[in-house]
Amino acid sequence: MVSQLGRVVLIGVGGDSGCGKSTFLKRLSDLFSSDLITTICLDDYHILDRKQRKVTGITALNPKANNFDLMAEQAAALKAGKTISKPIYNHETGCIDPPETIVPTPIVILEGLHPFYDKRVRDLLDFKVYFDLSDEIKIQWKIQRDMAERGHTYDDVIRAIESRRPDFTAFIDPQKQHADVVLQILPSDLPAKADGSKIVKACMVQVDGIPNYEAPYIFDRAISDVCWKPVFPNSDPNLTFCYGTHDYFGRPASYLSIDGEFAPDDSPELEQKLHNTSENRFGELASLILKHTDYPGSRDGTGFFQVLIGLKFRAIYEALTSPALAGTKA
């Protein structure tokens, strides 16, 4: 069975916890059959369990708490289509459980805090996505997520973010300069909503020259820094959709941004202005958003770009695997 695998495509998904990684992974499984996807949570490569980290004062963000040698070795084995025996980090007990057997599928996703930290792992990845959440939105999302828990206060949320910040800045955040696509979640430039919650501006940065990747753009690729303000009856009147080029950590890049909220029903109109979406049929992007309006971010650029990144990854996957398919047919 393993020998039939022509080529395992490895994708790395990075970012802090609560940044939208798992929603993105759900959107990927809407695109691909779940039989095709194996997801590896990189927390499984923790060397120190929760108790040991607390005793030594080393957070999970710290590379010292993680076994990159084993991660690199097993990522290489998976890419070669080999079965591995992977440790399990148990998030409930905080212990390292006995290993499990992982048989690779055509797509293997490495998701977690450090997918691009180790050069050996980084170089194996066929596509690298990083979720870059700004502090303002991080606080708002964590409040939404954690304040539902009884007794969890605003001060606790801030304290937790502040305590983890030094390690986050030192070890996690710098990885974004190695990513192919970065989804930035920023506070909006638009006026705040009536209830005081912040509107999100999502910005999808795509580095030039990613293999098998044609950058999406609006209107005309040659016209940079162009914005479109559509007027939809049920959406934010200030909704702004932009395209432009800039430098991202010294690498030429282009970006798409959506500032403001829109009714999911308006996503076909937004999609219509986009070129190079890698859709198999027109309307696919919008239909994927409308399929799950219950996912967080379905009303703003967060969900829209998560789906777009998924479509772009599918194009990469098809480009990498189709020669193998042609070979078996011949």
Partner 1 sequence: MATDFTKLIEEEKAEAKEICDINGKDSPHCAAAWDAVEEVQAAASHQKTKAPAKNSLQVYCEDNPEAAECRIYED
Q: Which residues bind partner 1 (CB under 8 A)?
A: 17-18, 22, 50, 53-54, 56-61, 91-92, 94, 145-146, 149-152, 156, 159-160, 162-164, 166-167
Amino acid identity, position 10:
L
Tokens, residue 177: 């300069």
CB of 51 to partner 1, least distance (A): 9
Cβ closest to partner 1, residue 60 vs residue 286: 60
Nearest to 321 by CA among 2, 5, 3: 5
CB of 101 to partner 1, least distance (A): 22
Question: Rounded CA gap, 171 and 114, in Å?
Answer: 8
Distance of alpha carbon 222 from the chain centroid: 28
Cβ closest to partner 1, residue 16 vs residue 180: 16
Tokens 């192919």 locate to 180
CB of 319 to partner 1, least distance (A): 32
Cβ closest to partner 1, residue 17 vs residue 245: 17
CB of 60 to partner 1, least distance (A): 6
Cβ closest to partner 1, residue 97 vs residue 123: 97
CB of 23 to partner 1, least distance (A): 8
Range list of H helices, the chain: 21-31, 50-56, 68-79, 119-124, 135-146, 154-167, 267-272, 284-291, 301-329
Positive or negative, the CA dihedral 39, 122, 71, 317 is positive
Cβ closest to partner 1, residue 30 vs residue 156: 156
Tokens, residue 230: 């559509």
Tokens, residue 97: 């459980």
Positive or negative, the CA dihedral 279, 285, 276, 270 is positive
Nearest to 228 by CA among 166, 270, 267, 263: 270
Cβ closest to partner 1, residue 163 vs residue 197: 163
Bridge partner list, 186: 201
CB of 161 to partner 1, least distance (A): 9
Cβ closest to partner 1, residue 62 vs residue 278: 62
Give the end-to-end CA distance of the chain in Å, rounded to a whole number. 20
Cβ closest to partner 1, residue 141 vs residue 262: 141
CB of 162 to partner 1, least distance (A): 8
Distance of alpha carbon 192 from the chain centroid: 26
Give yes or no for a contact between 87 and 45, defined as CB atoms under 8 angstroms apart.
yes
CB of 259 to partner 1, least distance (A): 27
Helix or strand (DSSP H, E) at 274: strand 274-275
